[in-house]
């Protein structure tokens, strides 16, 4: 039995350049984990090694100086390699440190983790973590039977044990938070000057069945929302206490419950919250909300991502997106018509893709006319529904490359390098098209796009993947624009 007090929550130092060019984003999950641990009497610390761009020497110093009883980390698939390095480092520093890992990849791949890394991984938290990690810490502190803790996996001798599921928290309003543990000055949204950015959660879950995604599996196609009053009150608190003027809603589908979502919009308008909001939602929810899109605009919804993913109905059906091709165009047109920044992505590199098909997708992306489009490489996450279909075509088995940037699946008629090249050309061609048509945009969107293009061409994974062709032409176009 070991008395546990200090718990260090570390975001692993993983970087892919996908969203990092746009801003510095916090791990909002740790805000809730730390809040729950503190409410239970523990002393949690949040260390965002990723956002600080800290290396393993920095992490070693942090662990050595703090002397935590527990080191816990988190991992989606591309992060898992670095997350496991963090736990190994902790164990090397002090063999008595208890190590814990959670999030999507460990939830589904704990057998593999314990097979190869059991020397320095003690516990995996499976599923939603706030209640589970508190129960685990209590059991360890009290010397109780670990097998009675729901929602964990661990190794007992040569066997991996997994306990009963922990279930989902019914009342999200009741979750304590630890916003005071966030180092606020480092979090910013680069397209907006003097910004202070928070990542917030208004709901949890996803009821869809997209075959390439992890969320339907993790949340078991369930969904729960915080009340409108609780969520909007949090935005006011963050604004008043920490000066937060931009928030990104981390939910997959914050708009699922129309009545609740409209109440959120009404409260944002009524209380004049004023915080710029970045969010994602589904194509069909935007179409459903055509009659209240004016409320989106008035409530300061500034940027909306909708997942188009494919430009052919055949691929949409494989992905089980449950939308029609023409709906994507209509949703993006609606967002644009209210002068809200529109963003989408296209998943490429499927087994039947060719260079010609990818070029055709780019042309359709231009027709769809989002402000921002990202051309992503299909990632064969080992727990996704589409994995068995993709498995024969996987050429790269390094999980750190499963980041939607690096192609790891080889189509039948393309090499991996050819996919990489076409993805770069896709981005270059799309954004050159956008820059050539700046005059057709509103002044607000012109200003935004110029800022974004400067970021993309100088501070993004795209600068490299576009083979250096885009930056020079972008510079010539930008030089003709009013600075």
pLDDT at 94: 97
Name the superfamily (CATH) of residues 183-437.
Aldolase class I (3.20.20.70)
Q: Where in the chain is the domain with CATH 3.20.20.70?
A: 183-437
pLDDT at 11: 97
Which residue positions in the chain have pLDDT lower than 70? Answer: 1, 17-19, 206-222, 309-325, 458-483
- 167/139 Cα distance (integer angstroms): 18
Which among 278, 320, 318, 321 has a CA at the least distance from the CA of 296? Answer: 278
pLDDT at 316: 47
Which among 279, 193, 275, 278 has a CA at the least distance from the CA of 240? Answer: 275
pLDDT at 319: 44
Q: Where in the chain is the domain with CATH 3.40.50.280?
A: 6-162
- Contact present, 267 and 232 (Cβ < 8 Å): yes
Q: What is the DSSP string of 44-92?
A: EEEEEHHHHT--HHHHHHHHHHH--SEEEEE--GGGHHHHHHHHHHHHH
Return the CATH fold of 6-162.
Rossmann fold (3.40.50)
Compute, in degrees rounded to 10, the torsion defined by CA atoms 133, 50, 431, 411. Answer: -70
pLDDT at 482: 47
Q: Structure pTM?
A: 0.90
């Amino acid at each position: 039995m070991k008395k546990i007090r200090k718990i260090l929550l570390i975001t692993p130092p993983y970087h892919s350049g996908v969203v990092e060019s746009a801003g510095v984003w916090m791990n909002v999950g740790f805000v809730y984990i730390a809040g729950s641990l503190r409410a239970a009497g523990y002393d949690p610390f949040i260390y965002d090694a990723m956002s600080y761009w800290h290396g393993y020497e920095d992490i070693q110093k942090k662990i050595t100086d703090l002397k935590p009883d527990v080191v816990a980390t988190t991992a989606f698939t591309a992060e898992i390699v670095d997350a496991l390095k963090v736990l190994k480092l902790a164990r090397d520093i002090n063999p008595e440190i208890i190590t814990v890992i959670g999030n999507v990849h460990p939830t589904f791949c704990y057998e593999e983790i314990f097979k190869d890394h059991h020397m320095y991984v003690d516990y995996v938290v499976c599923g939603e973590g706030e209640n589970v990690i508190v129960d685990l810490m209590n059991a360890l502190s009290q010397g109780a039977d670990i097998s009675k803790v729901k929602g964990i996996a661990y190794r007992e001798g040569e066997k991996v044990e997994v306990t009963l599921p922990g279930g989902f928290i019914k009342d999200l309003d009741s979750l304590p938070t630890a916003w005071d543990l966030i180092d606020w000055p480092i979090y910013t949204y680069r397209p907006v000057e003097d910004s202070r950015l928070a990542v917030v959660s208004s709901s949890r879950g996803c009821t869809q069945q997209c075959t390439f995604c992890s969320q339907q599996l993790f949340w078991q196609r369930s969904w729960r929302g915080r009340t409108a009053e609780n969520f909007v009150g949090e935005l006011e608190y963050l604004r008043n206490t920490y000066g937060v003027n931009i928030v990104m809603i981390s939910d997959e589908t914050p708009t699922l419950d129309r009545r609740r979502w409209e109440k959120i919009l009404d409260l944002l308008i009524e209380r004049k919250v004023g915080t710029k909001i970045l969010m994602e939602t589904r194509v069909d929810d935007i179409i459903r909300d055509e009659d209240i899109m004016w409320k989106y605009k008035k409530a300061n919804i500034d940027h909306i991502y909708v997942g188009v993913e494919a430009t052919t109905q055949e691929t949409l059906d494989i992905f089980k997106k449950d939308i029609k091709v023409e709906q994507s165009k209509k949703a993006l047109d609606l967002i644009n018509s209210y002068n809200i920044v529109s963003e989408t992505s296209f998943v490429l590199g499927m087994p039947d893709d060719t260079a010609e098909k990818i070029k055709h997708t780019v042309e359709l992306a231009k027709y769809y006319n989002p402000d921002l489009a990202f051309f992503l490489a299909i990632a064969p996450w080992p727990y996704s529904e589409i994995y068995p279909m993709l498995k024969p075509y996987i050429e790269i088995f390094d999980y750190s490359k499963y980041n939607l940037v690096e192609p790891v699946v080889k189509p039948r008629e393309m090499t991996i390098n050819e996919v990489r090249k076409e993805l770069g050309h896709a981005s270059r061609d799309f954004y050159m098209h956008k820059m050539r048509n700046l005059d057709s945009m509103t002044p607000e969107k012109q200003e935004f796009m110029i800022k974004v293009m400067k970021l993309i061409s100088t501070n993004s994974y795209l600068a490299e993947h576009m083979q250096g062709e885009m930056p020079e032409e972008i510079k010539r176009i930008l030089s003709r624009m009013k600075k």
